[in-house]
Structure 1
């Protein structure tokens, strides 16, 4: 199933690029953002669920700098639409992490393909970030479990399999996750022994 591309359009009123961008955005879910830099981006944009299409025509240098800073800080997917001959475009694209560039010299189908590819890349990047966060959480939990297991080994003279079995047994009996039991073991140890290993 093909999902509809969601685009947040940042554009000055009466931009000459608007007429060329309208057919490229046909079939997309479009939200128009004010050209004045916001304090924070809308939730769908900051969550990476919307691609930002930034029509650069008519932005004064302070506005460009402010938007560049916001988009770079939020690490959102950005597609730039630039007027012909714009100076400093490569630097701006690199600074805000642009995924694609649309120019008036491109034909409509090429621009639509670039927008779709940028949307697919943004979705994949968001998926990879979620996977990374999940793996980091699991690794952190595993570290806590290992510390608790090592405390049992050192303080009760248990072997590694027996220490793990006891943690798992207590988790089942108390209907808790293994990491919760491990945290409790560590907290109890530190309560009675301070920071001694």
Structure 2
């Protein structure tokens, strides 16, 4: 079974796979619509850390921008701790450190964290305010990769907004082929 096929089977929530470098490697259809501000028009693989620290749109997308920033850097620190000689991580940290004072300060704090589960708030340019529960699942067949799933409480305004976003995503041409993996 391919990773992309498995993601597409998740239809009631945003699902995506990311690597330790915060690259979005694969998403389901709702994930492509949800992360359309991150994915943009294509080009290089969408990266949550670059979006967080280098794109001014992230401050609108993440109403709790400071919290998201701390979480992003903490997750990257955890990944860097698993392999301190990882050249890809070193290059990403170097890029973000030279281009973002906020990243540089947070990286210097040396905080480490994993995602696990919880609730996050988002402001999507199409769907508006969303409060979503999240769960992180390790992909044991591919160490370092995680499956993230965001869901809304049934019957909530966020659930209705996710349905709106799914409908929008189905009618819009969102980038898909450039950002899929098949494992």
What TM bracket, shorter-length normalisation? under 0.3
Name the TM-score, length of structure 2 as normaliser: 0.26
Larger RCO (alpha carbons 8 Å, 6+ apart):
2
**Whose strand proportion is higher, 1 or 2?**
2
**Whose helix proportion is higher, 1 or 2?**
1
Name the TM-score, length of structure 1 as normaliser: 0.25
